[in-house]
Structure formats: structure tokens, C-alpha cells
Amino acid sequence: MKVGFVGLGQMGQAMAGRLLEAGHELTVYNRSRAAAELLAARGARVAGDPRRALDGEVVITMLADDSALEAVWITPGLVQKMPPSCVHLNMATVSLRMGKTLSSLHRAAGAGYVSAPVFGRPPVAAEGQLDIVAAGSSSAIERCQPLFAVLGARWFVAGVEPYLANVVKIARNFMLAALVESLGEALALARKSGVDPAVFLEIITGTSFDARYKQYGRRMVEKDFASTFPLKLGLKDVELALEAGADSGVPLPTASLIRDQHLAAIAHGFGDQDWSALGEYIARRAGL
Amino acid sequence: MKVGFVGLGQMGQAMAGRLLEAGHELTVYNRSRAAAELLAARGARVAGDPRRALDGEVVITMLADDSALEAVWITPGLVQKMPPSCVHLNMATVSLRMGKTLSSLHRAAGAGYVSAPVFGRPPVAAEGQLDIVAAGSSSAIERCQPLFAVLGARWFVAGVEPYLANVVKIARNFMLAALVESLGEALALARKSGVDPAVFLEIITGTSFDARYKQYGRRMVEKDFASTFPLKLGLKDVELALEAGADSGVPLPTASLIRDQHLAAIAHGFGDQDWSALGEYIARRAGL
Amino acid sequence: MKVGFVGLGQMGQAMAGRLLEAGHELTVYNRSRAAAELLAARGARVAGDPRRALDGEVVITMLADDSALEAVWITPGLVQKMPPSCVHLNMATVSLRMGKTLSSLHRAAGAGYVSAPVFGRPPVAAEGQLDIVAAGSSSAIERCQPLFAVLGARWFVAGVEPYLANVVKIARNFMLAALVESLGEALALARKSGVDPAVFLEIITGTSFDARYKQYGRRMVEKDFASTFPLKLGLKDVELALEAGADSGVPLPTASLIRDQHLAAIAHGFGDQDWSALGEYIARRAGL
Amino acid sequence: MKVGFVGLGQMGQAMAGRLLEAGHELTVYNRSRAAAELLAARGARVAGDPRRALDGEVVITMLADDSALEAVWITPGLVQKMPPSCVHLNMATVSLRMGKTLSSLHRAAGAGYVSAPVFGRPPVAAEGQLDIVAAGSSSAIERCQPLFAVLGARWFVAGVEPYLANVVKIARNFMLAALVESLGEALALARKSGVDPAVFLEIITGTSFDARYKQYGRRMVEKDFASTFPLKLGLKDVELALEAGADSGVPLPTASLIRDQHLAAIAHGFGDQDWSALGEYIARRAGL
């Protein structure tokens, strides 16, 4: 396929390389030309102007952040300059606000647009093992499928509105940050209480967390809160953690905030429902 | 094996039943005798006094909480009445303070003691599929192994000091609470931003979190913070989540606190180290 | 007046001394007798048993915490041993739970009881300049008035149920803690952003906070939320603080949590009401 | 004095009116001209272009937020167009980032600049009773003094760098937000625990908080942490509040986070120092 590629940082470099290896015909653009030249040696055509990248079936952007996208794509009016034959495939992580702006700019210009941020770092990209979350019209997504097949181990569709893919990406990244934080707090508690951290890690990863994400997630989504483990017992467990933290002298800020959420959820009548009903309290707090 | 069993709530009932099925000889005690009688029909000897449960090789306690343990086990002086031939195997979740109290009471009395709290609910217990975290002297743990084999799918050793098993249990429960909270916040963000929650759940559980717990955990334990994804980019991701929450009107308290931890970690020089170095900041904040 | 005094730590010592100076006739008791002997020199009668302190019109307790009160007052059955002519005046800070326990124990025993925790440290007590928050029946409080007049600069009545005074004391102490925390965060922001901290302090204390406590408090109590400064502008101010903190590298955890409370309050329709309506959201979150 | 005035929202309107009453000669500009015309009736000259406002001794801007300032002042290049005889006096609240941008833009252009945000709402402005926090060179501030005298009840100098005034304004607003939040939490606790909220408010405002801001602030600034009330007792008070909240079913998120700060401060050796040392822990957490 004839593909434009704009933005050749570490991720862009790895992804464009992978596409070249798979036999796609690439026109590449980068603000500092040196990064583009690296790909010329591997068969890419180097464009001095990003407009040149618009004459394929798909133009991929992989720009570092909102302001790079603003500078390279929006301000020069590329949305308006896209030919009807081309679909814009934005694979970078952008803010929700920028995601919405891009959705509406392309709609207004009648330009094809798919937002498809990825999970994975450059080496994973180079091996075509990314996870891709796409959103856009089905015809636009269909156009991009051969590229997803080369770049990704898996790909998912988040909805028709392109910015919905940005929401999913942002929300999952947040979940990873929460994982890092809670793991760090738990390890600090274990270490300061005398548990060998390597033993602790072996034990806690000896059983699956994935199963719990699925189990609690299903209940939250289906609002199935018939209790197997009531929320008020969850509060008891969180209080045991806070007491242990106080005894060992370890601040557990995540546990502190979760305790407050439980108190509020109980005040709103969720105490005897399943632990997952905490998600329903959280949703109501957001006005849902 | 000749086994005493004290505390026949839902979990105790299921565990004692499983042990009877496996051919162990049980003497059971419960404060309200009705629960004990249920097991008599399945072959257990019912004791009217918990002291009768001390004449086997192991006496298991599965009492509801600290105060039940205080009332049934400690105040009546059972620790001091245990014969040298018997090992106390406490499989209930207790506070760290109670865990330490039990450790020292048994040591002072020269009584064998293993703390081995379990993960899993009654139906899981009835099928012998619990996860067991044990701590105690190797000889005492060896004595309990035939019982672990019947009750558990897996079992782990947390250390020699019995209360270390309580720490692990408490810390892992806290991690589950953090999982529920962060999942609830992420779902609220997704829903209020227009993503179909079932689609969101399918996508985020389409890839493994377990691998991340292992990856970040290993780095924290080995203090291997050579960057593949620097902490300051983690902050950027958290800020994208907070911005999205503000745009959609969704409070994300976990993201808020994680942001502050990142700012503090960066102020302490961890900005260019791997994201997992957040765990090191958290440990230092605890005085480690 | 003939007064018993139980508990002669630093505060008790100062208060008992003040009562002696004012001409009251004291019988004092302390677990370690040395503290009591210090007052003997100033005219107190030293009791070897706290029961001896019950034969006056009022017996004051000033014990360090819940467990001291448990050990010295409750377990030995002093509540039941109080003669009808005596009123128990507990001036120490205890937990709400202990406050309720004391209220009901005395009611059950038909014993007079006033809870009257104080604000102020030992030197303030020695000069009779404490602030006293009392709760109890009007006749019991009337009995204690001559003592309040000697010990306090001001005294307030929180209600008829004695434990209500404990609530007020606990809640006000929490407000002081919040004052320390927010002042610390604001100073850290100012310092790291280049403001001379002494200048900062002079400016922020150059205008009154007391007026604001009164103004916002009145609106919360009267639920008068007609806007003069809408809550959504309060959110804007909090976000300016968080941005400044991020720019200067200063975590502001109080600002982070307040931001989330604003987002939730706005999601519940309070955005255009006066800033003080945040208090109404907080109350609703507590199930009020 | 001949003064330009740009930005005639509610605050600008009130301030400009006050200046006119005091006899100053105003040239006013507002994006929607209607607001300017209101002042014409009171003697102001209405400018159709903000450049006309630059020909006095001082030009005051009172624009709503960063983006208004960007659109009206920065993008049209007014900084560069200011004659040497004029000083720019920005009395609006802007972000720290914008404050720094303005400081450096004016410095680069050699234009006089004072940042002087105000405390107070429109009616207070109309009566010339604002509190003003100014920063800038002493000569530039001297130029503005006659205007401060008309608009303010008090005015303070935060430093020579203009953006320092923005820091002070932002930090003090944050402290007010923290006051509202902690007052709301304390009231919720009192109400749900049975205290009459009006009585509670009367008691807690019956003694001064101002004195505490000064006392703890002085200690933080002078790093005078010789204990009169040790930090670890502060932790005890916060835990009493959290227990009371749990008993009454009231989440106290501010208390939760303060508890964690205390645990961390104690882990860093501040437990026996004065409560105000919490500020020192907070500063160190920020890398100070």
C-alpha cells in the first residue's frame, strides 16, 4: 500500500521500519530531516514537506504530543488539504481535548480519519507486536487493517467517533499508573514489615490479577452487585492495611483514599452489595 | 491426621468439610454449637470446649476477626494449654498487630504456630482450590503440609516469623482494593466520555496486567531503574487522564494522588529513571 | 468547692494547680504517685485509691487517652461507685467511641456526667485561659461552672449528650491539622517559586482568615448558596495552584483532593452556586 | 493621573469607576464596547483600540484569564508598543506560567511592569477596600502607589520579580479553598454525629484561627521546631478524627491525606518536633 508517515521519533522510526519490511511503499516526513534519512536507506521516499505524505491511501501521524500535532498537522492546514482518496491514521497518544478537536476538524473537512493509539515501546513496535485501539468509521478502519496486521499483535475497535480510542488509551495508561503506585505501596509495606521483597513479589504474582480485572469489571459493566463479598468487608480489609501501615510507619495514600470511597459508598447504601459496587459509587460521584 | 478445627463460619465450614472428605479425623468447635452439628453428620467429633480441639497434631483456627480470636483463643489461655505435640495453624485474616501478638504469645509459651491466611471464598475452599500464604518454622510448616495439599491449589512460604504471612495477605488484599478502585475510576471516565463500557472492558482486559505486575515488581525489587519508559513520561500520561477527567467531569482521585507522587519523585531526582522508580520514592517516603 | 482530680500529667498538673490557687479543696490521684505529691505541697490531699476522689461535688478526670481512662476509671467500676452527690467532669480528649461509651455508662448508672475537653497547652491551663467545650445536662453543667470560671477564658455548651463535646473537640483539632497542612503546602509553593517565605507569611496573615471561616460557615449552616463567587471559579483557582505546583515541582496533595471534590460537586449541580456549596456536596457524600 | 484601563468585566468596571470618582483621567477599552460606554457616562474616554490606552502614566489590565490576556495584550504586540513613559499594571489573577511570560516579555521590551493581583469582589472594589499584592521594581511600584491608595485598603510588596505577586495570590487562594474544604468536612462530621451545626460554627469560630496561622507560620519560616506540641500527638488527633468519621459514616479525605503526611514526616524523624515541622516535611517532599 502507498502510505505517508509523519513523525519519526523512536516509535515512528520503529513502526515505519516495520511497514517498509512488510513491503509497503512509504513517503516519510520529519521536522528534523536526519530521522527521515535513516529510513531512506531502507527504501522510503523522504518528503521535504508533509503535504507530500498525503498522496497515498493512508497517512500515518506519530507526533510526540498535542503541540507537535498542532504545529505539523493542524496549523499548516493539512486536514483541509487531504485528498478524498486518503485516510488520516493518527497512532500517537493525544489528549482527549485534542482527540475531539481532530475528530471535528476532519468531519468538517470531509476527510477520512482514524484514531488508533498503540500500547508498546519501540522494540515491540519493530516486531509488529503492538496492541492497537482504533476508532473511526468502519470503511476508514477497513482501509487501515492491512497496516494494523503488520504493526499489531492485536487490535480493537473502540467505537465510531475517533476520539473514543483516545479515551481508552488514556484510561488504560491511568490504570497502569495505578498499578505501579499500588504495587509500590504494597512493596513498601511488605519490606518495612520484614517480608523479603522478592518473596513478596513471587507470592503476589503467583496468582492472577487478570482474572480479578475481568471479574470485577464484568460486574461493574452489567451492574450485577448481588453480593459474594460485600463492600463493607472490603472496607475492613482496607482498614487492616491502614493499621498495618501505621504500625510499620508506612504511608499508604491509595489505601487512605479507597477507605474514604468505601465510607461514602456505604453512606449511599452500597455496604451490603458486592465489592464491585464501589465502581457504581464512583460513577455516581461523576454524575453518571 | 487428627486435627482440631475451631471457628465454623462459612469459610470454616467449607474447609472443615473438605478435610473430612479427604479422610482427616476432625474435632470441631464453634461458639454457636449448631454450626458444629452440621459437620457431625459428616463424621466430625463435636467439642463443647475448644480445649478438646488441642489433642490432635494440628489445631486450625478460622475465627472471624481479632476480637473473636481474642475471646475464643487468647483470653481462655489456649496458647498456654497447647500440648507440645500440637501445632496451631491459624488460617484466618487478622490484623498485623494481632499477628505479632500471636507470634510472640506462642513463642513465649513454646507452642508450635503457623500463620497461613488464605485467598478464596467458601465455594473455592470447598473444592480445595484456595491460595495459601504460610509463615512459621520449617518443622511446623512441614507438619501442616498434608492439610495445605487438601485445602489449597497453591501454597507459598512468606518467612519464618508467622506474622509475615499476615503482612502478605493484608498487602495483597490492599492491592485488590486498589484494582477495584482504579478500574471503577477508569470505567467512569470511559462511560462519561462516551465509550461503551462493555467494549472498554473487553479492550483493557484483552491484554495482560499480570505481565506488568511482574515487570514493574521485578524492577522495584532489584532496584533496576535503567529507563525504558522514564517516570516523567508517566507523569505526562497521568496528566492526560486528569485533563480527560476534567473535560468529561469525572473526578479521578487515584490519578490525583499519583500525580503528586510523581511530582515528589521527580523533585527527588527520579524523573529520568524508569517508571518503576516510583516504588523507590514510595519506599523512601516510608523511611526505607 | 470540694473537688476530686484524677490524672496528673502536664495538663492535669497545671489545671489542678490553678484550682488550688483559686481556693478549691482538692483530692488528687495519679497512677504514679510522684506527680500527686507535687500538688500535696500546694495543699492537695493525695489519694492512694481513685475512689477517694469521688467524695466531692465534682470529680475531674484528665487521663491521657482511651486506654488510661479504661484502666483507671471504667475497669475498676468507678462509674458505678460514684455517689449521687458527685458529678464526673471529664476534661480530656477521648475518641468519639469512648465518648459515647462514657455517656451511656453514666446514664445507665444514674451518675452525673459532663464531658468538657479543652483547647490550650499546659502554660495556658496554668493561667486559667483555656477554651472549654462542655456537654451534659444543664444541672450537671451548672455544677461545673465555678470550675470553668477558674480554668477557662471562655466556655461553650455543645449540647445535652456529653459525647457531643468530644465531637466538637475532635472536629476542631482536625481543622487545625488541615490549617497546618495547607499552610505548609502554600509555603512550599511560595518558597520553591522564589517568594521570600517571611514576606509570604506577612502578606497572607495580613488579612483575616477568621472572617472567612465565619462567612463560609454561615452559608453552609444556613444553606445559603446564592452565588457571590461561584464554585466553578473556585475550581479555576485550585487549578491555577496545581499548575503552579507542577511548574515549580511542588506536590500539593490538598489542592489535588479539593479539585476532585469540586469536579464531583459540579457533576452534582453545584457549579453555579456559591463556593460554600462545596460543604453541601461534602455533606451529601456523607449521606446527609 | 492619566490612566489606561483595559478589561471591563465586573471587577474592572468597579475598579475603573472607583478611579474615576477619585479624579483620575481614564481611557478605557473593552472587547465588547458596551461595557466601556457605561463608564463614558461617568467621565471616561472610550478607546476603540487598546493602543489608545497606552498614552498615560499607567495602563491597568483586568482581563478575565490567560487567554483573554493573550488575545488582547500579547498577540497584538502591546508590550512592544508601550511608550517608555507608561507602566503596565496587571491586576488580574493569571497562571504562574503566564505571570512568568509577562515578566520576561516586558523585561525584553524594556517596558515597565507591575503585577498586582487583588483580593476582594466587585462591591469591595467599588469601595476601594481591596487587598493588593504587588511585585515589580521599586520605581514602577512607586508610580502605581496613588492608584493602590484609591483601590485598596491595604497593599503588600511580594518582591521585585513581577510574577512573585502571582505566586502569592495563587497560594493564598489555595489556602482559602483548603479552608472551605476542611470546614465542610468538619461540619459534616459534626452534623452527622448529632451536633447542631449552628452551635458547632459558633464554638469553632469563637476562638481565633488567625493566631494559629501566625504561630505555625512563624515556626515554619524560622524553622523553629522545638516542641511545644509534638507532631506525633498531632497524628493522634488526626486519627481520632478518622475514627469519629468511620463511626459516624463520614469520609474525611483531608484528614486521610494529613494522616499519611504525618506518617511520612515521622518516618523522616520529625515525630518529636513541633507540629509545625509538618511544613518542613512538606518542603522536603518538594525537593527544598
Enzyme catalytic residues of D: 169
**Interface contact D253-A257, CB threshold 8 A:** yes
Contact A246 D263 (CB under 8 A): yes
Question: ipTM score of the complex?
Answer: 0.95
Nearest-CA distance C39 → chain D (Å): 23
Q: What is the pLDDT of residue C207?
A: 85
Instruction: Express each pLDDT in A161-186 by its tens digit.
Output: 999 999 999 999 999 999 999 999 99
- Give the sign of the dihedral formed by CA B226, CA B227, CA B230, CA B234: negative
* Of residues C251, C257, C267, nearest to B253 (C-beta): C257
What's the rounded Cα separation, in Å, for the pair B89 and A60? 61
- Would you state the pLDDT for residue C227? 82
What is the distance between the alpha carbons of residues B59 and B6, in angstroms, rounded to a whole number? 7
Nearest to A186 by CA among C84, B171, D141, D135: B171
Instruction: Quote the CA–CA distance of B149 and B151 in Å, as a whole number.
Output: 6
Dmax (CA) for chain C in angstroms is 66
- Measured CA to CA, the distance from residue D238 to residue D244 in angstroms comes to 10
In this complex, the chains that touch D, judged by 3 or more CB pairs closer than 8 A, are: A, B, C
Which cell goes with B47?
Answer: 467439642
D181–C258 C-beta distance less than 8 A: yes
Respond yes or no: is residue A100 known to be catalytic: no
Given a cut of 50, the residues of chain A with pLDDT beneath it are: none
Which residue of chain B has the CA closest to A156?
A: B203
CA distance D244 to B10: 31
Q: C51 CB contacts (<8 Å, ≥6 apart)?
A: C76, C78, C81
Contacts with B286 from chain D: Cβ below 8 Å: 263-264, 267
- Asked whether the beta carbons of residue B261 and residue A212 sit closer than 8 angstroms, the reply is no
Q: Give the residue from chain D lying closest to A250, CA to CA.
A: D263
Cα torsion B44, B45, B50, B52: sign: negative
Q: Verify whether the Cβ–Cβ distance A249 to D261 is below 8 Å.
A: no
Q: How far apart are CA B21 and CA B24, in angstroms?
A: 7
- Catalytic residue numbers of C? 169
Distance from CA of D112 to the nearest CA of A (A): 31
Q: Transcribe D91-139 into DSSP letters.
A: -S---HHHHHHHHHHHHHHT-EEEE--EES-HHHHHTT-EEEEEES-HH
Chain centroid offset of residue D12 CA:
16
For residue A132, give the nearest of A105, A172, A103, A101 by alpha carbon.
A172
Inter-chain residue contact C260 with B251, CB threshold 8 Å? yes
Nearest residue on chain B to A284, judged by CA atoms? B188
| Alpha-carbon gap, residue C241 to C277, rounded angstroms | 20
Q: How far is D207 from chain B (nearest CA, A)?
A: 33
First to last CA, chain A: 44
Dist. CA C158–CA D166, nearest whole Å: 42
- Write the pLDDT tens digit of every residue in D197-248: 999 999 999 988 999 999 999 999 999 999 889 999 999 999 999 999 999 9
Query: What is the pLDDT at residue C259?
Result: 97
* C216, closest residue in chain D (CA to CA): D180
A249 contact residues in D (CB cutoff 8 A): 263, 266-267
Could you list the active site residues of B?
169
Question: Is B26 in contact with B19 (CB distance < 8 Å)?
Answer: yes
% chain D with pLDDT above 70: 100
Q: How many CB atoms lie within 10 A of CB B117?
A: 25
For residue C109, the one-letter residue type is: A
Question: Residue B265 and residue D139: Cα distance in Å, rounded?
Answer: 41
Q: Do B194 and A254 touch (CB under 8 A)?
A: no
Residue of B nearest to D287 (CA): B267
Q: Which chain A residues are closer than 8 Å to B282 by Cβ?
A: 181, 184-185, 187-188
d(CA D130, CA D117): 10
φ and ψ at D81, to 5 degrees? Answer: -90, -5
C-beta of residue C49 within 8 angstroms of C-beta of residue C41:
no
| Cα(C282)–Cα(D9) distance, integer angstroms | 32
Neighbours of D132 (CB within 10 A): 22
Write the residue in B161, B210, B283 that is nearest to A209 by C-beta. Answer: B210
Q: Which site among B189, B243, B263 would you substitute to test the C interface, given the most C Cβ atoms closer than 10 Å to its Cβ? A: B263
Asked whether the beta carbons of residue A187 and residue B217 sit closer than 8 angstroms, the reply is yes
C-alpha cell at B65: 476477626
pLDDT of residue A228: 83
Name the residue among A131, A257, A276 with its Cβ closest to that of B254: A257
Residue-wise DSSP of B234-276: HHHHHHHHHHHHHHHT---HHHHHHHHHHHHHHHTT-TTSBGG
Contact C192 D244 (CB under 8 A): no
> Exposure string (b/e) for B255-283, b if CB count within 10 Å is 16 or more?
bbbbbbbbbbbbbbebbebbbbbbbbbbb
> Which chain D residues contact residue B263 at CB under 8 A?
286
CB contact under 8 A, A96 and B285: no
Which residues of chain B does C238 touch, with a Cβ-Cβ cutoff of 8 Å? none
Interface test with D, best of A256, A257, A258, A262 (most D CBs within 10 A): A256
The helix (H) or strand (E) run that includes residue C134 is strand C130-135
Q: Tell me which residue in D65, D174, D191 faces C288 most closely, judged by beta carbons.
A: D191
For chain C, which ranges sit under pLDDT 70? none
CB atoms within 10 A of CB D149: 11
Q: Do D243 and C96 touch (CB under 8 A)?
A: yes
Cβ burial of B139 (10 Å; 0-12, 13-18, 19+) is: exposed
- Could you give the CA distance from residue A189 to residue C285 in angstroms, rounded to a whole number? 30
Residue found under cell 446527609? C288
**Partners of residue D250 in chain C, C-beta under 8 Å:** 286
Are the beta carbons of A158 and B251 separated by less than 8 Å? no
Q: Which own/partner pairs from D196-202 qualify as long-range (CB within 8 Å, at least 24 positions apart)? A: D196/C159, D197/C220, D197/C221, D198/C221, D199/C156, D199/C157, D199/C158, D199/C159, D200/C158, D200/C168, D200/C171, D201/C214, D201/C217, D201/C218, D201/C220, D201/C221, D202/C156
Nearest to D260 among A253, A266, A267 (CB): A253
In tens, the pLDDT along D156-208 reads: 999 999 999 999 999 999 999 999 999 999 999 999 999 999 999 999 999 88
How buried is residue B108: exposed, middle or buried, by Cβ count under 10 Å (0-12/13-18/19+)? Answer: exposed
Q: At what angle do helices C163-192 and D253-267 cross, to 10 degrees?
A: 60
Q: Which partners does chain C have (≥3 C-beta pairs < 8 Å)? A: A, B, D
Would the CB atoms of D285 and B286 count as touching at under 8 Å? Answer: no
Residues of chain B contacting D253 with CB distance shorter than 8 Å: 253
Least Cα separation, residue A255 to chain C (angstroms):
14
Amino acid of residue A284:
R
Catalytic residue among A169, A214, A223, A236: A169
Cα B117 to Cα B107: distance, rounded to the nearest angstrom: 19
- Reduce the DSSP state of residue B33 to 3 states and report it: helix
The tens-digit pLDDT sequence of chain B (288 residues) is 999 999 999 999 999 999 999 999 999 999 999 999 999 999 999 999 999 999 999 999 999 999 999 999 999 999 999 999 999 999 999 999 999 999 999 999 999 999 999 999 999 999 999 999 999 999 999 999 999 999 999 999 999 999 999 999 999 999 999 999 999 999 999 999 999 999 999 999 998 899 999 999 999 999 999 988 999 999 999 999 999 999 999 999 999 999 999 999 999 999 999 999 999 999 999 999
- Give the type of residue at B28: V
Q: B256 and C257: CB-CB below 8 Å?
A: yes
Q: Which residues of chain B have a CB within 8 Å of the CB of A274?
A: none
Nearest-by-CA chain A residue for B280: A184
What value does the CA radius of gyration of chain C take, rounded to a whole number of Å? 23
Among A257, A268, A287, the residue with its CB nearest the CB of C268 is A287
**Which residue in the set D154, D158, D279 is minimally distant from C183, CB to CB?**
D279
Core vs surface per residue B89-103: b (16+ CB within 10 A) or e: bbbbbbbbbbbbbbb
Cβ contact A92:A61 at 8 Å: yes
User: Is the Cβ pair B178, A177 closer than 8 Å?
Assistant: no
How many CB atoms are located within 10 Å of the residue D142 CB?
Answer: 12
User: What pLDDT does residue A227 have?
Assistant: 82
Q: Which of D268, D285, D288 to mutate to test the interface with B (most CBs of B within 10 A)?
A: D285
Residue of C191, C236, C260, C268 to mutate when probing chain B, most B C-beta within 10 A = C260
Interface test with B, best of C256, C262, C282, C285 (most B CBs within 10 A): C256
